[in-house]
Amino acid sequence: TFFLTLAGFIEEPERKYCFECDSEEQCQEWIEALKRASYEFMRRSLIFYRNEIQKMTGKDPLEQYGISEEARFQLGTRK
């Protein structure tokens, strides 16, 4: 049995999470799943797909939602 212990999240810094896994591979799968669910991963995905759609259509897909030029700039420049 393998254990994966994670520190708390921003909202609950004192809370700890423990995942019990049958193998080291399963621990790695949990780690990857948690990374994919993170804000940073989602933000990077949004930037990538926004740029791909803009290349294909010539239009910014976020424009219809009233996202300001400043917000689009921030989305495009953070790494």
More confident residue, 48 or 17: 48
Report the predicted TM-score, pTM, of the whole model to 2 decimal places: 0.52
> Measured on CA atoms in the order 20, 26, 27, 30, is the torsion positive or negative?
negative
Q: Is residue 49 part of a domain?
A: yes
pLDDT for the residue numbered 55: 94
Is the separation of the CB atoms in 51 and 26 below 8 Å? no
Mean per-residue pLDDT for 6-35? 80
Helix (H) or strand (E) holding 4: strand 2-6
Mean per-residue pLDDT for 16-23? 82
Tens-digit pLDDT profile for residues 41-55: 888 888 899 889 999
Mean per-residue pLDDT for 15-22? 81
Q: Is residue 56 part of a domain?
A: yes
Q: Is residue 44 part of a domain?
A: yes
Its domain, for residue 49, covers 2-71
Q: Is residue 34 part of a domain?
A: yes
d(CA 21, CA 28): 10
Q: Is residue 52 part of a domain?
A: yes
Quote the number of domains for the chain: 1
> Measured on CA atoms in the order 61, 64, 69, 70, is the torsion positive or negative?
negative
Q: Where would I find the H helices in the chain?
A: 24-36, 39-57, 69-77
pLDDT for the residue numbered 13: 73
